[in-house]
Each structure stands twice: as structure tokens, then as C-alpha cells.
Amino acid sequence: MMRHCMMAVRVAKSQIPLNTARNTQNYLMQRFYSNNAPAIGVVDYDVVKKLPSEPQKLLIDVREPEELKETGQIPTSINIPLGVVSQELAASEQLFKSKYGREKPKPDSEIIFHCKIGKRSLKAAEAAAALGFKNLKNYEGSWLDWAQREGLSK
């Protein structure tokens, strides 16, 4: 990652007149190394277990539909596979509601993502952050943690 950032700085710097290169390099370093994206929180089993009584929160399972057929899903979750999360969260409110039976989340709505182990769900949360959503959480234990605690097959 660092190597790619430095290469981008060199490329950008090479396209700038010499007299402005120093100031621009400082700007580019800030741009590449600062993170204006919202922090992505972490939730655990206890938080997810309470979600049926908190309908204002949205739980999104980013696994593929075939995975859900094999394992089942966490109650109240909706399935939006990782590959289409950005597209679906950017869809109109009407289309989102017709597809998922839930109101489309607002930029400040709490959205919790999960998958099988928590890696794809983190990528989904990052994609949502890029779309302007601010109250994002990742269930790190995801399905494996849920299944173990609920006594389900993994």
C-alpha cells in the first residue's frame, strides 16, 4: 500500500511544474495518508442478538445467496452480496424498499454488516462509507460466531 501511495505521489509530482512541486507534495501526502472516512465500529453477538427489538438498525449479510442456503441467516438480516452492496445502497429509496422490504438507510442510519467471518463485511462497510454512510458497524465474528453461540451448524 505504501509503495502504491509513493508511486502515486511521484507520478502526480512529475506532472506539476517544479516551482509548485514542494507544496503539492505536502498536499498529496496529506491526501493519501489522511482518512476522512468515518470510523467503522465493531459489534459483537450481544448487540446483534438484540436487533429484533431495534428495527431502526439494519443488519446486512453480504454473503452469496448460495451460502445462505447452506447455513441459514441471522434473524432480521437482509442479504445484499458484497459484489452489489455499493449499487444497492446507491439505489433509489423506492427500489431499495421494493427489493428488501425495508426503508433504505439514511446516511446516519446504523448499518451493521456481517458475512461468514467478518472480512467481506468490513469491505462492505468501507464501500458504504465511500457512499457517505456514517454510522457503520462490522460484526467481526459474523456467521461463525453467531452459529456457535446459537448452537447451529457452521
Quote the pLDDT of residue 37.
61
Q: Active site includes 115?
A: yes
DSSP 3-state assignment of 9? helix
What 3 state SS string does 15-36 have?
Answer: CCCHHHHHHHHHHHHHHHHCCC
- Model confidence over 129-138: pLDDT tens digits? 999 999 999 9
Give the model confidence (pLDDT) of 60-92 as tens digits. Answer: 999 999 999 999 999 999 999 999 999 999 999
Catalytic option among 115, 122, 124, 136: 115
